[in-house]
Amino acid sequence: MEPQIRYVRSADGTKIATATLGRGPCLLMIPPTPLWSIEGEWSMHLQREAIERMAASYTFVRYDPRGQGLSDREVDDLSLEARVQDLEAVFESLPADTAFVFSRGWQAPATITFAARHPERIRRLVLSGAAARGRDFRMNDKRRAVGRLLDVDWELYCAAFAFADFGWTEEGRQYALMISKATTPDIVRRGWLAMRQYDATEMLSSIRCPTLVIYPVEQKDAFVIRDAVRTLAALIRGARLKPVEGLYSQYLVSAPGVDAALQFFSEETPEATSPETGEDSAIIMFADVVGSTAMTERIGDAAFRERARALDASLRTVIKSGGGTPVEGKLLGDGVLAVFTVARHGIEAALGCVKASREADLELHIGVHAGDVIRESGNVFGGAVNVAARIADAAGAGEVLVSDVVRSLARTSANATFEDRGEQPLKGVAEPVRVYEVRWRG
The structural domains of the chain, with segments of one domain joined by +, span 4-273, 278-440
Low-confidence ranges of the chain (pLDDT < 70): 1, 138-144, 218-222, 246-254, 268-278, 292-297, 301-302, 305, 328-335, 376-379, 442
Q: What is the pLDDT of residue 47?
A: 80
pLDDT at residue 361, rounded to an integer: 79
**Checking DSSP bridges between strand 4-9 and strand 15-21, what pairing results, if any?**
antiparallel
Contact call for residues 138 and 225 (beta carbons, < 8 A): yes
For residue 364, give every residue at least 6 positions away whose Cβ sits within 8 Å of its Cβ, in sequence order, or none.
Answer: 287, 288, 289, 290, 353, 354, 357, 397, 398
With 0.85 as the threshold, say if the pTM is over it.
Answer: no
CA dihedral 406, 206, 312, 346 (to 10 degrees): 20
For residue 236, what pLDDT is reported? Answer: 87
- CATH code that applies to domain 278-440: 3.30.70.1230
**pLDDT for residue 75:** 94
Assess if CATH 3.40.50.1820 describes domain 4-273: yes
User: What confidence score (pLDDT) does residue 331 get?
Assistant: 41
CA nearest neighbour of 405 among 393, 390, 387, 389: 387
- Contact predicate 61/18, CB 8 Å: yes
Please name the residues in contact with 430: beta carbons below 8 A apart, sequence gap of 6 or more. Answer: none
**Contact between residue 75 and residue 42 where contact means Cβ atoms under 8 Å apart:** no
Helices 45-55 & 170-182, crossing angle to 10 degrees?
80
Q: What is the mean pLDDT of the chain?
A: 83
Task: Give the pLDDT score at 309.
Answer: 73
Task: For 109-136, write each residue's pLDDT tens digit.
Answer: 999 999 999 988 999 999 988 889 988 8
What Cα–Cα distance (Å) separates residue 406 from each residue in 22, 120, 412?
A: 46, 24, 11
What is the rounded CA–CA span in Å between residue 26 and residue 108? 19
pLDDT of residue 293: 65
Residues 109 and 74: their CA atoms lie apart, in Å, by 23
- Residues 166-225: pLDDT tens digits? 777 777 788 888 888 888 889 888 988 898 899 998 898 889 899 999 887 765 545 777
